Amino acid sequence: MSKRIFINIVPGKTFLHKLSGKTKVGLFIVCIVYTIMSFDLRLLAPLMFLSLIAIVSLKPDWKVIIVLFIAIFLMNFFNIFLYWVVKPDIGSEWTGGTSTILYSFSSYYFVSLETLWYLLVRLFKMLTSFTVSMAFILSITPSELASGLHGLGVPYKICTVVSLAFRYIPDISRDYENIKVSMQARGVEMDLRKTPILKRLKQTIYILFPLIITSFDRIGNIANALDLRGYGLKKDRTYYAEVEPTLMDKLFRWSTLALFLFCLAWIVSRNIWEPATKMWFPFEV
């Protein structure tokens, strides 16, 4: 199961795996903020480069990742293509109003340097958020995620929901498979080629109904199991998965803080103090 969803449940052995949950969650949140705020290749390119190095260092199963990467790339490429279709001069608004036309199909449809640049930066932004997320997902286990979130001040009951979900999703999907098979044997046709999509959707209820009943039984038992071991007893709770911070953790946490301050400064200066109307454009005339 864990193979199929490429999430680590057992902590890995590489450098990034060994960082504590809190360090990883904190860094991830700041990196995402950083990606969202920047529409500037000078900021995006280094982060993308670093997150690619991080992915390589995590020694992942490349097969899955490359497939995913290609899918994300194509989707976003299509997305920016649509941007161009709708508004071929979109880049000019952001680079200072000029249009350096490189090729023109008609008076409306043309390819300008400014638009190309704008779309390139947009693509970069999307891909960076993908590589950052990927590096994060590959480096963390669900337990570390829960403990890390708690370390950053999220109430532990919410963190438990996260880790319980990861714990029971494979069980529920196994039940789902079992029920599906028994329904098929009773004559519910689920072959993709033979059944129209609407009918298949309607038939999903034949699986969901027993699945919900079985899951409810389980939820009651889980709730008792939690109560019997004193869950919810105290205001705070510790985590077995939260390893003691090492020197590396401290280094990373300080870097995270520095990056966070930089983000803050950037947001204040560029978005609040004096909202920027232009993006960085190296070919400006």
Residue 233 or 272 with smaller CB distance to another protein? 233
- The structure tokens listed for 90 are 């979109």
Rg (CA), the chain: 24
- Binder among 172, 183, 248, 259 for another protein (CB under 8 A): 183
Binding residues for another protein, rule CB under 8 A, total 59
Cα 74 to Cα 67: distance, rounded to the nearest angstrom = 11
Give every CB contact of residue 145 below 8 A, 6+ residues apart in sequence. Answer: 21, 25, 162, 163
The answer to whether residue 104 forms part of the interface with another protein (CB under 8 A) is no
Of the ranges 45-53, 76-84, 171-179, 251-259, which one interacts with another protein (CB under 8 A)? 171-179
Residue 171 or 284 with smaller CB distance to another protein? 171
Q: How far is the CB of 247 from another protein (least distance, A)?
A: 17
Q: How far is the CB of 68 from another protein (least distance, A)?
A: 21
Give every CB contact of residue 164 below 8 A, 6+ residues apart in sequence. Answer: 222
Give every CB contact of residue 243 below 8 A, 6+ residues apart in sequence. Answer: 18, 20, 21
- Binder among 6, 69, 73, 166 for another protein (CB under 8 A): 166
In three-state secondary structure terms, 151 is helix
Of the ranges 52-60, 66-74, 172-180, 275-283, which one interacts with another protein (CB under 8 A)? 172-180
Cα 59 to Cα 146: distance, rounded to the nearest angstrom = 23
Cα 68 to Cα 127: distance, rounded to the nearest angstrom = 11
- The structure tokens listed for 239 are 């985590």
Give every CB contact of residue 39 below 8 A, 6+ residues apart in sequence. Answer: 121, 122, 125, 279
Of the ranges 33-41, 59-67, 71-79, 160-168, which one interacts with another protein (CB under 8 A)? 160-168
Q: By the 8 A CB rule, do 173 and 1 touch?
A: yes
Long-range Cβ contacts of 195-199 (<8 Å, 24+ apart): none
Q: How far is the CB of 67 from another protein (least distance, A)?
A: 19
Binding mask 35-64 for another protein (x = CB under 8 A): ------------------------------
Residue 209 or 254 with smaller CB distance to another protein? 209
The interface with another protein within residues 214-253 (CB under 8 A) comprises: 214, 217-218, 221-234, 236-244
Cα 83 to Cα 85: distance, rounded to the nearest angstrom = 6
The answer to whether residue 9 forms part of the interface with another protein (CB under 8 A) is yes
- Binder among 14, 52, 170, 195 for another protein (CB under 8 A): 170
Residue 1 or 68 with smaller CB distance to another protein? 1
For residue 175, the one-letter residue type is: D
C-alpha 227: how far from its chain's center? 33
**C-alpha torsion sign, points 272, 277, 281, 285:** negative
The answer to whether residue 6 forms part of the interface with another protein (CB under 8 A) is no
Residue 89 or 175 with smaller CB distance to another protein? 175
**Chain contacts with another protein (rule: CB under 8 A):** 1-2, 9-11, 141-143, 163-164, 166-167, 170-171, 175, 178-179, 181-189, 191, 205-206, 209-211, 213-214, 217-218, 221-234, 236-244
